């Protein structure tokens, strides 16, 4: 079972020797970021900063910085466990396309241990601050990189709902602290919360927003999952956690938040009110420029007694984004196979920020099959943002980047096997010559067939492989060789 709240997970990590308490005073201006980045890149423990300069609130960092810790938080022994559970939702009907994905998740609602459960009283309401008592400077926001435009909260889970349909959205976005009561909402063009805000603005209405920190691990992960717009993240979190997530009504906005969160900010977005946000050292490893984004006024803060905050450091990979991205890659393989059934396996390298490159293996069945699949990948929900799609044969391990590079560098005639198109790219992409769209490439690194124009004498060459009998003999005698 996954952990019910952040505190119980931190206690378990400390028992395992996988959490380090930092008692020395540390500065949230650059110092904490430098410490966490070094520890994370070294594969070190979760960190609990107990004495953050300017704040009485401890700060938990690097909590999900290794696959081991994220799996422990979600109560899993491997990511394959959830892949298999998701795959089980798809049988025996074998649905297809995006409708099939929604039908599969629709089955979750029939599971009594999955839908969120509303409660009246909650630990997150033990302390309630309103009006002039609200002071965001008391919360440890991070100024992580030298050219950041200010201090940011990097792990606040943002709750909104569609003004017309009432459909809830839970998303993870960076949050710049503008002043004691104002937060900048970095809502990129493809995000559901941005759509909610635009609908409210067209209607001349304020949009209610609630931001939760230190939530149960399954909820934190669900906020990062690229779910279809009408799939409730709390339904998915309950599926991950193995039991219902407890929710409580906010004090001043018509939204619900996790009852066992550490801190919640509540407020309203006024139509058209924006402030310059950024620059920010992002997960791409580059600074994203300053832009105008909606500015949220915080009217109420609720929290547990003796609360703690949780955040992450993003920047040049590897960072804490890594385990979260790998979880998504594995969890959603069965769903991607519904949309693109040709796929055998896929890999989204962390070095590409999980969206710049997709390596896909297929069981090639007809000429130009690879080109068909790369276009299908570009049409599959958020996979549309992939800038490079590399197609390899099924006998290639897509997770072995050396093997993939050997195929991609050796199996390609770039005058024939390279496909270049234009399409949407991530809002944060700095390489495209304009925002939101740019060039993409697909590489066919599969074996080529005569029907595809490969008509050289002898056909496509065989790969070098050891003689099976000799290889087995050498394995048996290996100790005799003294090697």
Q: How far apart are CA 464 and CA 226, in angstroms?
A: 40
Give the 3-state secondary structure of residue 260: coil
Alpha-helix residue ranges (DSSP H) falling in 191-285 = 192-202, 217-224, 233-241
| Dihedral over alpha carbons 301, 253, 246, 212 (to 10 degrees) | -40
Q: How far apart are CA 299 and CA 270, in angstroms?
A: 13
| Dihedral over alpha carbons 31, 309, 71, 113 (to 10 degrees) | -170
445, 390 Cβ separation under 8 angstroms: yes
Cα distances (angstroms) measured from residue 284 to each of 109, 265, 276, 424: 36, 28, 20, 17
Annotated active-site residue in 192, 232, 282, 444 = 282
Q: How far apart are CA 270 and CA 33, in angstroms?
A: 32
**Is 282 assigned a catalytic role?**
yes
Residues 69, 234, 319, 40: is their CA dihedral positive or negative? negative
Provide long-range contacts, Cβ within 8 A and 24+ apart, for 186-193: 186/277, 186/278, 186/280, 186/293, 187/293, 187/294, 188/426, 188/427, 188/428, 189/427, 189/435, 189/436, 190/382, 190/385, 190/424, 190/426, 190/427, 192/160, 192/229, 193/158, 193/160, 193/169
236, 207 Cβ separation under 8 angstroms: no
Number of other CB atoms surrounding residue 237 within 10 Å: 27
Q: How far apart are CA 469 and CA 333, in angstroms?
A: 36
Residue 21 is classified by DSSP as E
Give how far the C-alpha of residue 394 lies from the chain's centroid of Cα atoms, to the nearest Å. Answer: 27
Residue 207 is classified by DSSP as E
Number of other CB atoms surrounding residue 217 within 10 Å: 25
Q: Which one, of 435, 440, 428, 414, lies nearest residue 357 by Cα? A: 440
Give the 3-state secondary structure of residue 49: strand
Q: Which residue has the tokens 């927003």?
A: 209
Q: In this structure, what token pair is assigned to residue 38?
A: 């070094």
**What residues act catalytically?**
282
């Amino acid at each position: 079972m996954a952990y019910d709240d952040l505190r119980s997970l931190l206690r378990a990590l400390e028992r395992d020797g996988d959490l380090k308490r930092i008692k020395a005073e540390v500065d949230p201006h650059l110092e904490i970021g430098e410490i966490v980045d070094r520890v994370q890149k070294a594969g070190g423990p979760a960190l609990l900063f107990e004495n953050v300069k300017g704040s009485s609130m401890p700060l938990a960092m690097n909590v999900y910085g290794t696959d081991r810790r994220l799996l422990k938080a979600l109560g899993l022994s491997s990511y394959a466990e959830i892949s298999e559970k998701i795959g089980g939702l798809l049988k025996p009907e074998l649905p297809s396309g995006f409708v099939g994905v929604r039908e599969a998740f629709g089955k979750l609602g029939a599971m009594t241990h999955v839908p969120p459960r509303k409660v009246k009283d909650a630990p997150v309401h033990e302390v309630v601050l309103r009006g002039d008592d609200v002071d965001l400077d008391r919360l440890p926001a991070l100024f992580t990189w030298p050219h950041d435009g200010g201090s940011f909260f990097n792990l606040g889970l943002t709750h909104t709902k569609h003004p017309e349909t009432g459909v809830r959205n839970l998303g993870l976005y960076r949050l710049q602290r503008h002043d004691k009561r104002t937060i900048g909402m970095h809502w990129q063009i493809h995000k559901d919360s941005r759509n909610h805000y635009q609908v409210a603005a067209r209607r001349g209405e304020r949009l209610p927003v609630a931001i939760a920190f230190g939530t149960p691990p399954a909820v934190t992960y669900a906020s990062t999952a690229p779910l279809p717009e009408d799939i409730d993240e709390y339904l998915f979190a309950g599926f991950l956690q193995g039991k219902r997530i407890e929710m409580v009504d906010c004090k001043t906005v018509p939204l619900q938040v996790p009852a066992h969160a550490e801190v919640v900010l509540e407020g309203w977005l006024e139509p058209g009110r924006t402030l310059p946000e950024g620059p920010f050292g992002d997960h791409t490893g580059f600074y994203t420029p300053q832009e105008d984004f909606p500015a949220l006024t915080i009217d109420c803060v609720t929290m547990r007694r003796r609360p703690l905050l949780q955040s992450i450091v993003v920047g040049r990979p590897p960072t804490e984004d890594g385990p979260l991205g790998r979880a998504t890659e594995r969890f959603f393989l069965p769903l991607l196979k519904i949309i693109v059934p040709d796929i055998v396996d896929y890999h989204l390298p962390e070095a590409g920020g999980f969206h710049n490159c997709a390596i896909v293996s297929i069981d090639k069945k007809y000429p130009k099959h690879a080109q068909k699949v790369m276009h299908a990948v570009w049409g599959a929900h958020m996979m549309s943002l992939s800038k490079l799609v590399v197609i390899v044969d099924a006998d290639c391990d897509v997770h072995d980047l050396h093997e993939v590079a050997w195929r991609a560098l050796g199996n390609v005639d770039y005058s024939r096997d390279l496909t270049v198109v234009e399409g949407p790219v991530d809002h944060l992409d700095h390489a495209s010559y304009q925002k939101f769209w740019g060039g993409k490439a697909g590489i066919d690194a599969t074996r080529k067939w005569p029907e595809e124009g490969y008509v050289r004498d002898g056909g496509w060459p065989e790969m070098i492989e050891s003689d099976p009998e000799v290889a087995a003999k050498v394995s048996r005698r290996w100790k005799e060789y003294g090697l």
